[in-house]
Amino acid sequence: MELRNDTKISAFLLLGFSEDPELQPLIFELFLSMYLVTVLGNLLIILATVSDAHLHTPMYFFLSNLSFVDICLTSTTVPKMLVNIQTHSQAITYAGCITQMYFFILFAGLDTFLLTAMAYDRFVAICHPLHYMVIMSPRLCVLLVLACWILSVLNSFLHGFMVLRLSFCAELEIPHFFCELNQVVHHACSDTLPNDLAMYLAALVLACYSLTGILYSYSKILSCIRAISSAQGKFKAFSTCASHLSVVFLFYGTLLGVYLSSAVTQNSQSSAAASVLYTVVTPMLNPSSIA
């Protein structure tokens, strides 16, 4: 019998972290509080950047864009999980799952590219301070953000299109709190080799380009900081990068760890727990980078 993707009968169940009823209220309160802190904190950054003329600089332009993307990133996953806990339902429709997965890939990709653009901005600010406003012109900033959107849309469209070609034979239990790409692909009953190749190739290319840009920028930044004579000057230069660098390590470390470890082990519970760091914790920490 030929396999086909019957979206009318395909159902997805998001198992979340635990099926223990006693833990559900705790999980609900924890994620609700983190979600509210994330949304309110990032909204404050956007409002402050828009309302204060002194903050109309490239750094805060990228930071406000990152805040918007972080709000969208958490909003693609956490609200649905909270609704499922409150309604005691684990179900998500096929269309809802594909939509959630598409937008999650979109905003996660935007996060990686914007972090790279912010690293370049810090490189220019520290290594070429006299030419900073000339190099980081409004036109260049807008073009960098536009390029981030185009690359992210193309990446999410590629994965979304390739998932649509898969066949799902029965009700699927996804041991995750959202429709994560790797979990959905590996629960299909058709050939997933093209999806695996596209998934790992895209992750490798995008991560390599982004990480190369970030590492190059910070290698130049460290060289410039070492050349500063005063300890106060070194501390001031490093403090402008410390928060951004910590978010980069947390985001990339957990993101790459989850996807690379999936090729070796099928421990979905640890994968779901690690995913919280880059889907919820990292966006929540973004407001601290304004300091």
pLDDT given for residue 224 in this prediction: 85
Dig out the tokens for 258 from the structure.
């989850």
Dig out the tokens for 48 from the structure.
């402050």
- Alpha carbon distance 269, 139 (integer Å): 45
pLDDT given for residue 246 in this prediction: 74
Contact predicate 280/74, CB 8 Å: yes
For 10-19, 46-55, 93-102, 172-181, which range has the lowest pLDDT when averaged over its residues? 10-19
- Alpha carbon distance 214, 188 (integer Å): 36
Beta bridge partners of 174: 14
- Alpha carbon distance 275, 259 (integer Å): 10
Give residue 163's Cα distance to chain centre.
Answer: 20
| pLDDT tens digits, one per residue of 31-44 | 999 999 999 999 99
Place 6 in a pLDDT band, splitting at 50, 70 and 90.
very low
Contact predicate 30/12, CB 8 Å: no
Q: What's the whole-number mean pLDDT along residues 78-107?
A: 91
Domains assigned to the chain: 12-290 (1.20.1070.10)
Place 169 in a pLDDT band, splitting at 50, 70 and 90.
confident
Dig out the tokens for 264 from the structure.
């070796």
pLDDT given for residue 1 in this prediction: 39
Beta bridge partners of 92: 12
Percent of the chain at pLDDT > 90 equals 30
Place 187 in a pLDDT band, splitting at 50, 70 and 90.
confident
Average pLDDT, the chain: 82
Residue 230 has pLDDT above 50, yes or no: yes
Between the CA of residue 37 and those of 48, 117, 276, 285, what are the distances in Å?
16, 25, 15, 9
Q: Which residue has the higher pLDDT, 290 or 113?
A: 113
| pLDDT tens digits, one per residue of 93-134 | 888 999 999 999 999 999 889 989 999 998 998 888 889 999
The 10 Å Cβ neighbour count of residue 93 is 13
Residue owning tokens 């309302």:
51
| pLDDT tens digits, one per residue of 192-222 | 888 888 888 887 777 778 888 888 888 888 8
Helix 138-164 × helix 58-75 angle, to 10°: 20
Residue 291 has pLDDT above 60, yes or no: no
Residue owning tokens 């750094």:
59
Place 256 in a pLDDT band, splitting at 50, 70 and 90.
low
Residue 24 has pLDDT above 80, yes or no: yes
For the chain, the straight-line distance linking the first and the last C-alpha, in angstroms and rounded, comes to 61
Q: What's the whole-number mean pLDDT along residues 228-236?
A: 74
Say which residues have a Cβ less than 8 Å from residue 285's Cβ, sequence separation at least 6: 246, 247, 250
Place 78 in a pLDDT band, splitting at 50, 70 and 90.
very high
Say which residues have a Cβ less than 8 Å from residue 257's Cβ, sequence separation at least 6: 274
Q: What's the whole-number mean pLDDT along residues 80-91?
A: 89
